[in-house]
Amino acid sequence: MSESSAEAATGAVNAVWRKAGFAGAALGIIAAGAAASVAMERLTVGRGIRRQAQLDLDSTGPYGTLRGNPGKAYAEDGTELYYEVDEVEPDGGPVPRRRRLFGRRTPAPVTVVFSHGYCLTQDSWHFQRAALRGVVRTVHWDQRSHGRSGRGVTQREQDTPVTFEELGGDLRAVIDAAAPEGPLVLVGHSMGGMTVMALADRFPELIRERVAAAAFVDTSAGRLGEVSFGLPVMGVNAVRRVLPGVLRALGQRAELVERGRRATADLFAGIVKRYSFASKDVDPAVARFAERMIESTPIDVVAEFYPGFVSHDKTAALRHFADLPVLVLAGDKDLVTPSSHSEAIADALPGAELVLVPDAGHLAMLEHPEAVTDRIADLLARAGVARPPATVGGYGPHTRTRRPSGGRPRTGRGRTSRGGTPQSGG
């Protein structure tokens, strides 16, 4: 593609933003970092070749193809919520006659419930789902207006934004339908972690009575309005001022915006990669998999959810996890929910295990699946709900560790310390 063609494409993007409202420049700031990395590719690789490469990546690998037993739950406002269950195969042998006649004589199985993040789907847990199949019962679900779940009824009928209180209620509906009894382990990434916090805020008795452990991956308990997204101060201040209005305007012109997004797919892919991954050598098929999930989220859904992040504050709800085994994990180069937010969660839960994965961005479970899967497996073992499995990839040298005084090992910045004061890392 010629330089003039690249400029024309950039002009088309700006035209879409101008038609949508008054802040094309601010969204241009967000795109600027990604545009720099995309520019050289545009000048050296023809659009037809890039499109064929995308098609090839779409057709390779098993990403997003794992399926379980499907089910539907219904939110408090009637929104249809889609979930899938991966059951653990029974040990085999005949069922004792007494059990057949009088019902269950063994405890209900542990269920691990995975909640995905903003603009993703349950398939974002692909690697962890594959690793845990046959080890423990799992539930994967699509948040309202994402994936196979229905559009939010309240949002459709009342034109109001999504709240985390709603999402906490949605998770409760899925649990009631897919795992009505037995111990639970709650795992949430980004918005999914915030949903788990909202569940605890609304239904503390559920956490107290049934939850055996929890994992918070690349998420935050609040103060998201202070995140810079790796932008200079002037740029991020501009974005904060105008982004809510821009998203509302874009949501009202969804069809136009979707056409513009498809027309500028290269730039969009660069933005996705910049804010999802930190590794330069991330598998292109994995990057394309993430891109497909994000681009499948309609712009009006993006707009419906955004206000909830600005007001999100569930720090007080963390106390409900204080007596449980908890994993807090983040990529150390996450630009969306910086690792300082995970450190704040761990500070509120002194017994939690804190893991910062080097050279990882916001989608750590896709970028470094072995590290995330192994830590979740360790959490299940610490909670006594599954046998310690063989290592999935060996996270040992890939995370930085420290230990607080007393309690369970805590991992994070720095070298391993056996004493009471963590050693500072280099």
Return all residues near 21 (Cβ < 8 A) that are at least 6 apart. 245, 246, 248, 249, 250
Which of 228-232, 384-388, 418-422 holds the top average pLDDT?
384-388
User: Which CATH number fits the domain 70-89+107-222+312-398, given the four candidates 2.60.40.2300, 3.30.960.10, 3.40.50.1820, 3.10.20.30?
Assistant: 3.40.50.1820
- The pLDDT tens digits for 77-99 are 999 999 999 999 765 444 444 44
Output the CA–CA distances (angstroms, integers) from residue 247 to 26, 94, 178, 233, 300, in the order listed.
12, 58, 34, 21, 8
- The pLDDT tens digits for 195-216 are 999 999 999 999 999 999 999 9
Rg (alpha carbons) of the chain, rounded to whole number? 22
pLDDT of residue 358: 96
Mean pLDDT of 53-73: 74
Q: In whole angstroms, give the CA distance from residue 240 to residue 235.
A: 9
Q: What are residue 216's DSSP bridge partners? A: 188, 328
Q: In whole angstroms, give the CA distance from residue 336 to residue 351.
A: 25
Least confident of 23-32, 110-119, 128-137, 349-358: 23-32
Three-class SS of residue 197? helix
Q: Is the CB of residue 123 less than 8 Å from the CB of residue 364?
A: no
- The pLDDT tens digits for 155-184 are 999 989 999 999 999 999 999 999 999 999
Task: Assess whether pLDDT exceeds 80 at residue 406.
Answer: no
Task: Assess whether pLDDT exceeds 60 at residue 13.
Answer: no
More confident residue, 224 or 23: 224
- The pLDDT tens digits for 94-125 are 444 444 444 555 678 999 999 999 999 999 99
Task: Assess whether pLDDT exceeds 70 at residue 231.
Answer: no
- pTM for this structure? 0.75
Element containing residue 418 per DSSP (H, E): none
Least confident of 4-8, 138-142, 351-355: 4-8
Three-class SS of residue 403? coil
- The pLDDT tens digits for 260-297 are 565 455 555 667 777 899 988 899 899 999 999 998 88
**Where does the pLDDT of residue 354 fall: very low under 50, low under 70, confident under 90, or very high at 90 and above?**
very high
What are the sequence ranges of the domains in the chain? Answer: 3-60+229-309, 70-89+107-222+312-398
End-to-end CA distance of the chain: 43
Q: In whole angstroms, give the CA distance from residue 112 to residue 344.
A: 24
pLDDT of residue 33: 41
Q: What are residue 211's DSSP bridge partners? A: 184
User: How high does pLDDT run on average in the chain?
Assistant: 76
More confident residue, 414 or 283: 283
